[in-house]
Structure 1
Amino acid sequence: MLKSRRATELEITFGALLCLIMVSLLLYSVIAYTEYRYNKHQTMKGWVIGLLLTFIGIIGAFPSSMQTVLPKKQVLRLLLDWFPNSNHVPIYAGVQRKIFAKHGIQLQIIELNDPSDSVPYLTSGKADLALYYLPDLIQAQQKGAGVKLAGVLVGQPLNSFIFRQGEGISSPKDLSGKIIGYSLGGNNLKVLQRLLHANHLLPKKLINVNFDLVTLLANRQVDVIYGAFWNIEGEHLKALNIKNSYFKVTQLGHPVYSELIFISRHDFNRLEAFKLAMQESIDYCKAYPEEAFELYAHHHPEKSAATFRWEKQAWLNTVPTLAESQQIPRQEWVYLKRWMEEL
C-alpha cells in the first residue's frame, strides 16, 4: 500500500511538472510576441502586466502536493549494538550508496557502548530502531517490554566459545577444567550454564569480564571467552598475533537462530520502506563485498590501516551469514522461544 501510494504521488508530481512546463513555454511565446508588438505599440504594457498576473494566479492554483517535486524523507534513528564494526557494513553501505534515501529514509546512526541500553532508548522514544540479538528480544518480550522484530541483518549464530590454540582444546568436552570469561549477565548467563550442563562440562571457574573479552584472553587471564563473535573477535585476536579457534554455540546444542536483528517499539509501524532498503543494501554487499567494505571504511576515517586490515577479513567472514530476507522462519522463532522458556 505504501509503495502504491508513493507511485501515485510521483505520477501526480510529474503530471504537475509537465503542466508547468507547457504553461511556461506558452508564456514565453506570448511574451516574445508581446515584446515585438510592444516595440511598435507601447500601449501593450498594461496587457503584458495583466498576463503576468494571470500566470502567477495559475501557478498559485496548483495544490501544494503538486508543487512539491521531492517528498520529504522520513527520519529514522537507528541504534547500533556496539561501536561500528564489520557487522555493520551493510548499514553504512546503504547510507553511502543512498539506498535508504532512495526509499525515502534519512537514516541517523547512533552509536552505543552497552547493548542493554537499546530497549530503554526505544521505549522512551529516543530512537526508532535498534540493532539487537534475537535471544535478547525473546527475553525482553518475556519480561513485558513493548518491542518487536523489525528486520534481520545476520541470519546465523555468531556467538561462540573462543580459545587460544595449543592449550589442549580440540573439542567442546575439553572446556572442562578451564577458566571461562563471559561478558553477559541475567538470563544470558543461564544460557551459558545450560550449554555447559547439557554437555556435562565443569569449568574451573566462570568470570564475568564485562566487555573486555579480547584483552583477558590475550593476557591469559582466562582460557576461553564466551559471548564473543567468532567472525569479529577471532580476527581481532589474530591481528594481535594470537592464534585461536572457536566452537559455535550450535556445536554445544544451542538452537540455530538469527544473531543480529532490528527491533522497534511494538507500536512503530513505519517499517516497510526500511526493510526494503535494508535487504537491498544486504544484497548489494553480497554481490560486491569489496566495494561495500570500502564504503564502510570511507565512513570511518578515524580508524587505522591496521584496524581495517583485520576488520576486512572479519567482514569477508560475515558476508555468508548475512540475512536472506527480512523475515525469520517461524520454526526458528518457535523453537528458540521454547528452548529459552526452559532456562
Structure 2
Amino acid sequence: MNIKESNLTRVRIKLKWFPNANVAGIFVAKAKGFFAEEGIDAEIIDGAPGTNVDQLVACGSADFGVSSLGSVMYHEKRGLPIVSIAQIFQSSTQGIASLKSSGIDTIPELIGKTMGTLGGVNELQLFAFLNKFCLSHKVELVLQESIKELLTKEIDVGSVAIYNQLQPPFKEGLRPEDLNILLFSQVGVGMLEDTIIATKQLVHCKPTLSAGVVAAILRGWRYAFAHPHEAIDIVMRFMPKGRSTREHQQRMLRSVQGFIMPQGFSPYDMGQFQFPTVMHTASVLFEQGLVESPIQLGQVISPYIVNLALSNCNLWI
C-alpha cells in the first residue's frame, strides 16, 4: 500500500537489546509496511546491555518500547508511569550457566564467584534468584555483553537466554554436557519477559495509536513465522554487519516461536496476557523482596489495548 509519509504519525520504538530475531516481528512490520497501514511511521531504536527501556519510555525518549513484564511491574511500583499493552513472550527464557570444568555444580558454590548480568530490564529474574538463595551480597556482578565472557573465563557464571546466548558455543563445538545450565523457571523465579510498553498518558490519550502499534507488531510476527526465510533477510538488513550470522538468527527465530506461540495457542492468543503467568511474575517480585507490596495488575497491564489490536482487520489479512 502506497501511503504518503506526511499522513503518518511518527513513533519511536526502543528495543532492550541489539537487533536480533527475538524482535523480528517489529522489523518485519516496518519492512512490510504494516506500521504504515496503521498510519504509523515507526523509528526503531536499538538497545544494548544495560538499556533501561522503562526509564527511556517514561521520560519521553521513546514512545513505545520492548521491556520485560517483571521490570515494568518493578518500575511502576517505583513511580514510573508506564504500562504494558501486549505480552509477546509467554514464559521465561532466562537462566545462568557455568562451565562444567569450573567445578560450580551447585547453587551454594556460586558464593564468591563473578557473575555476568545482562543489565537493564533483563536482570530482575537474576535478582529474584539471588534473593531466593541468599546470594545477593555473596557474588560479584559485572555487566555482560555476550556468552564469550564465560567461554574466555572472564566471568565464572554467565546470564543466558535459551534462544540467544546458548547457541554460539554449541555451534562452535561445545556440548550441552560441557555446561551447567540452570533456568530461573526451574527454581520458581522465572518471570515474563518481552512485552510492549508505553506511558499511561499515551495509552489513555491515544488508544487507537497504541493498538495500531500492537496490531502491526503482531502482524509482523505472524508474517515472520509464516515466511521465516524472508523474515531473516529483513532482520539481517537491520543488523550491523558482522554482529551475528544468518544461521544464528534462523535458530533464534525458530526458538522464540515456541515462547510467543506456545503449544495450544491460537493466532488470537498471541500478545494476550495469560493471567496465571502474569500473576506468577507479580508474586515472584513480592515474595523475593523486590517490591514492598503486592503488585496491582490493573496499574501495570492494559488488556484493552491488545484486545483492540486483535480486533483490527489488517491483522488477519
TM-score range, shorter chain: 0.7 to 0.9
Tell me how far 1:215 sits from its aligned partner: 2.9
Structure 2 residue aligned with 1:193, among 121, 125, 130? 130
Q: Which has the larger radius of gyration?
A: 1
Larger relative contact order (CA 8 Å, sep ≥ 6) = 2
Q: 1:328 to 1:160 in 2, by over 3 A?
A: same
Deviates more, 1:267-276 or 1:186-195: 186-195
Cα deviation 1:239-258 (Å, max 9, x = unaligned): 45444453321111125x43
Count matched residues: 266
Q: Which residue of 2 aligns with 1:281?
A: 220
Tell me how far 1:208 sits from its aligned partner: 0.9
User: In structure 1, what is the Cα distance between the partners aligned to 2:103 and 2:219?
Assistant: 44
User: In structure 1, what is the Cα distance between the partners aligned to 2:58 and 2:20?
Assistant: 25
- How do 1:117-128 and structure 2 match up within 5 A? 117-128=52-63
* Superposition TM-score, scaled by structure 1 size: 0.68
Higher helix proportion, which one? 1
Describe the SS at the equivalent of 1:176.
Answer: helix
Tell me how far 1:274 sits from its aligned partner: 1.2
- How do 1:289-304 and structure 2 match up within 5 A? 289-300=228-239, 302-303=241-242
Q: 1:194 to 1:214 in 2, by over 3 A?
A: same
Cα deviation 1:74-133 (Å, max 9, x = unaligned): 211000101112212111111111122222221101113254432332222221001111
Across the aligned residues of Structure 1 and Structure 2, the Cα RMSD in angstroms comes to 3.0
1:229 lines up with 2:161 in the alignment: yes
Q: Which residue of 2 aligns with 1:99?
A: 34
Q: Which residue of 2 aligns with 1:341?
A: 286
Q: Which residue of 2 aligns with 1:54?
A: none
Deviates more, 1:95-104 or 1:327-336: 327-336
User: In structure 1, what is the Cα distance between the partners aligned to 2:138 and 2:173?
Assistant: 26
- How do 1:239-254 and structure 2 match up within 5 A? 239-244=171-176, 245=179, 246-254=181-189
Kept in 2, the 8 Å contact 1:129–1:263? The answer is yes
1:267 lines up with 2:201 in the alignment: yes
Q: 1:320 to 1:277 in 2, by over 3 A?
A: same
Q: 1:113 to 1:203 in 2, by over 3 A?
A: closer
- How do 1:295-314 and structure 2 match up within 5 A? 295-300=234-239, 302-303=241-242, 307-314=245-252
Describe the SS at the equivalent of 1:177.
Answer: helix
Tell me how far 1:175 sits from its aligned partner: 3.5
Structure 1 residue aligned with 2:276, among 327, 331, 337? 331
Deviates more, 1:178-187 or 1:230-239: 178-187
Tell me how far 1:166 sits from its aligned partner: 5.8
Tell me how far 1:216 sits from its aligned partner: 2.5
User: In structure 2, what is the Cα distance between the partners aligned to 1:112 and 1:287?
Assistant: 26
Cα deviation 1:184-211 (Å, max 9, x = unaligned): 48966541213435xxxx7996221212
Q: 1:291 to 1:140 in 2, by over 3 A?
A: same
Q: Which amino acid aligns with 2:196?
A: F
Describe the SS at the equivalent of 2:277.
Answer: helix
Q: Which residue of 1 aligns with 2:150?
A: 217
Kept in 1, the 8 Å contact 2:232–2:249? The answer is no
Tell me how far 1:168 sits from its aligned partner: 6.1
Cα deviation 1:276-325 (Å, max 9, x = unaligned): 11111111222222321122113336236x62222322222222112542
1:177 lines up with 2:122 in the alignment: no
Cα deviation 1:50-81 (Å, max 9, x = unaligned): xxxxxxxxxxxxxxxxxx99981221100010
Q: Which residue of 2 aligns with 1:208?
A: 141
Structure 2 residue runs of 5 or longer lacking an equivalent are: 204-208, 262-268, 290-317
User: In structure 2, what is the Cα distance between the partners aligned to 1:259 and 1:107?
Assistant: 22
Q: Which residue of 1 aligns with 2:91?
A: 156
User: In structure 2, what is the Cα distance between the partners aligned to 1:275 and 1:217?
Assistant: 36
Q: 1:230 to 1:340 in 2, by over 3 A?
A: same
User: In structure 2, what is the Cα distance between the partners aligned to 1:139 and 1:84?
Assistant: 25
Deviates more, 1:295-304 or 1:68-77: 68-77
Structure 1 residue runs of 5 or longer lacking an equivalent are: 1-67
* Superposition TM-score, scaled by structure 2 size: 0.73
Deviates more, 1:211-220 or 1:173-182: 173-182
Deviates more, 1:69-78 or 1:292-301: 69-78
